[in-house]
Amino acid sequence: MGFALDGRGGKNEGTDGAVPSNARRVMGLFDKAEPMGVEINGKPLACLLCGHDSFWKREAQLNTAGASFLGFDWANRTGVCYVCAKCGYIHWFLPP
């Protein structure tokens, strides 16, 4: 059974697995860039969940408990995320 965002951060059970328009609208809040193909170490990235090959690129901070506890979140590393344009699965990568 699939699920989809309901626009309030929840999920709607029983969908057909396609990303609904409200999930696409959420992605549109970040920027207007179109999804793109991605290569990792010279190989094309395909979604681990659905096999799709188009992604939105995002950066996300990789927080650690110690730095967060001491208020040094800004000192944590940043990872690269590729969000599948079809199902929304997030693929995380550490910077080289």
Q: What is the pLDDT of residues 7-56, one digit of tens each?
A: 444 444 444 555 555 455 555 555 568 999 999 999 999 999 999 999 99
Q: Does one domain contain both 52 and 28? A: no
**Which residue, 33, 40, 75, 79, is CA-closest to 56?**
33
Residue 52 makes CB contacts below 8 A (sequence gap 6+) with 46, 84, 85, 86, 87
Q: Does one domain contain both 75 and 39? A: yes
pLDDT tens sequence across 85-94: 999 999 999 8
Give the domain extent around 16: 1-32
Q: Does one domain contain both 39 and 24? A: no
Q: Does one domain contain both 83 and 52? A: yes
Q: Does one domain contain both 38 and 78? A: yes
Q: Which residues pair with 43 in a beta bridge?
A: 40
- Total domain count for the chain? 2
**Which residue, 88, 81, 89, 84, is CA-closest to 22?**
88
Predicted structure pTM score = 0.59
